[in-house]
Structure 1
């Protein structure tokens, strides 16, 4: 996808303004324009891919090394007590380019766990049925 068609690619190419905190051959990281808290950073792979499964396996490790570095830098540089690190794949992904959110956190900052309602399994058998479906998708021939 040409950089002009993807705002994250355009930021990485220097064609669109962004408050870049890291830029190398693997990833570009920049401040979110609608942060949960000030200092909220998005880390995106340099190559245009839409979701985590689309990222080629050899690029996963180097990309997450950048996520790890940015996470440490957000905590240290902002004197944050911790971070919330998350990613969406397709659903709730406002820009269709893989990116990881690194959000600075402090105790009593008002953010309560996850941003969505939680549920429960009806019983252990239902939980096991979901686990089995995922195991089969990971290894169809166990």
Structure 2
């Protein structure tokens, strides 16, 4: 239940950042007020915001680092629930995205595709060079 000085906010959070085989994915958080941090899970999250203007800070905690950061200025008014979205990036090297409407694609997809593509093509190129040198000698 929301109190008299609180506004309901609904945050749709994307899937967390992909970390490969390094265990659990990083946890996602939003700082709703100085010192008040709420953990987000993928999907719809319901939380309460104090009334007034504020800057929400979204991020994922990867080991000791805050990655996928995004900020959003909101004006929380009594009786007006907020519908927000946070998209964590695919990789820890990109910024996150926060907004009021659907955010479309998650940030960092191109970088993830380039890293995956180079990881697949590099061994093939090395084998090709080896075979070419062997055929020429």
Measured against the shorter chain, the TM-score band is under 0.3
State the TM-score, normalizing by the size of structure 1: 0.26
Looking at secondary structure, tell me which structure has more strand per residue: 2
Tell which structure's C-alpha radius of gyration is larger: 2
* Structure with the higher helix share, 1 or 2: 1
